[in-house]
Amino acid sequence: MDRLLRAYQQLQEGTSRVIVAFRHPGVEDGTMVFRLMTGIASREARRAGIRLRTPPRGYFLYGRDVPLWAGRFLTWMLPLLGAISVVPGRYDSQSIATMRRYLTEMPHPLALAPEGQVTYHNERVAALEAGTAQLAFWCLEDLKKQARREDVLIVPVCTSYHYDQRDGKGVLRLLAATERECGLPPLEGLEPPGGRRGGLPLDAAARAKVHARVMRIGRRLVEVAEDFYARFYGARFEPRAGEESTAGLQERVRAVCEAALGVAEGFFHLKPRGDFVHRVFAARQAGLLWMFREDVPDLDELSPAERALADRVAMETWLANRHVELVDLLEYLRADYLQPDSGFDRFVEAVTNLWDLVNRLEGGNISGRVNPFRKTARIVVNEPIRVSPRWEAYRANRREAVRGLTAEILASFRSVAEKGNVPAG
């Protein structure tokens, strides 16, 4: 916490401008970082005897589509909290101008997630968007135009979630429910451990059996998706191998993502550009425009026939978006993430993600994602990254400087997230 509190002090003393860059493995991350930058920071400052001129607060970015799946309450609440809406994956000049103004003028740090969206894994960092590094350099550029000498700091924050091993029975029950949902018969030979406080079996043979069940479900769900897209959308997939490696399964996952996104992009008349993340952003944004018709000033002015057609387009768009929401989860799932000797947290993540994959195949999205297990949040504040020493490199080659700063943020995240199974507490 001393790293974050020092950054607040420097901001309030006028020597630095601050960006809080946080990991995004779960839907709760924004809430956790908001609490970190308000309640926890205030409490720890009092405990450490650090006097801040104003109570610590923060400004946040959120996707413009978030209130559509999270509820109208957030539409009202987020702007009151100082949140800034952005269109993910697209150059949004109005939002960028607002962010640049907040970074140079407002009294609190700006918080954002360089991964761009939920990535569903505690211990694997997804590729980062370049926007965080670019914003930092723009802030530095704006300060220099105003003849100001503040440094720009990026404070990496790693959030992760750790589960109670007493919920081991619940994990096995969810695993069995997922098997039933995708039509797999039960595997005999693994009974839940006895006792009210029983956890996941700890011996190697039992864990290997649970791992085998997880992989069997994964292969089955990929097979179901392949059959669906091949039969009804004309997708072509490579013949399935007998004994398949995790690399082979991962290629099949990638092919399903390609097929599903291709269906959505064909519906929205989009040309595939960029990686899966950017293509998901583009298709999702097109869906919003087709469902919530900004081109129609007043729906009441439409004739009954026009309104009926608009409703039909909205309905068909909703269906097309089911392909997008499938890829939103599936693109992050890795066949090699779970091993028989993995920690309990990874087992919970793997089983929960499989259940969510069923949810997406059945037409759901992130709002239908369930996580019934008790968990503890862990927040690690890494050493701030100074941006000012990179100014000359930025002037010489902007693209390379942004790439280098993004790589340093990624390395900071990985130093915490990917060092192994991190215990709670």
Q: pLDDT tens, 286-325? A: 998 899 888 888 888 999 999 999 999 999 999 999 999 9
Average pLDDT over residues 210-232: 95
Q: What is the pLDDT of residue 136?
A: 97
Please give the model's pTM, rounded to 2 decimal places: 0.90
Q: What is the pLDDT of residue 251?
A: 95
Q: What is the pLDDT of residue 420?
A: 56
Q: What is the pLDDT of residues 145-174, one digit of tens each?
A: 999 999 999 999 999 999 998 898 899 999
From CA 38, how far away is CA 76, in angstroms rounded?
20
Average pLDDT over residues 186-209: 64
Q: What is the pLDDT of residue 192?
A: 46
Average pLDDT over residues 379-387: 97
Q: What is the pLDDT of residues 61-120, one digit of tens each?
A: 887 777 666 677 877 888 787 788 887 766 778 889 999 999 999 999 999 999 989 999
**Confidence label for 244 from pLDDT (cuts 50, 70 and 90):** confident
Q: What is the pLDDT of residue 196?
A: 42
Whether 190 shows a pLDDT value over 60: the answer reads: no
CA dihedral 407, 415, 417, 166 (to 10 degrees): 180
Whether 240 shows a pLDDT value over 70: the answer reads: yes
Average pLDDT over residues 330-334: 95
- Asked if 134 and 159 count as a contact pair (C-beta separation under 8 A), the reply is no
- Asked if 213 and 179 count as a contact pair (C-beta separation under 8 A), the reply is yes
Nearest Cα neighbor of 218 from 123, 126, 353 is 353
Domain segments of the chain: what residues?
A: 2-163+374-417, 214-368
- Asked if 37 and 111 count as a contact pair (C-beta separation under 8 A), the reply is yes
Topology given in CATH for the domain delimited by 2-163+374-417: Glycerol-3-phosphate (1)-acyltransferase (3.40.1130)
Q: The tokens 């082979």 sit on which residue?
A: 248
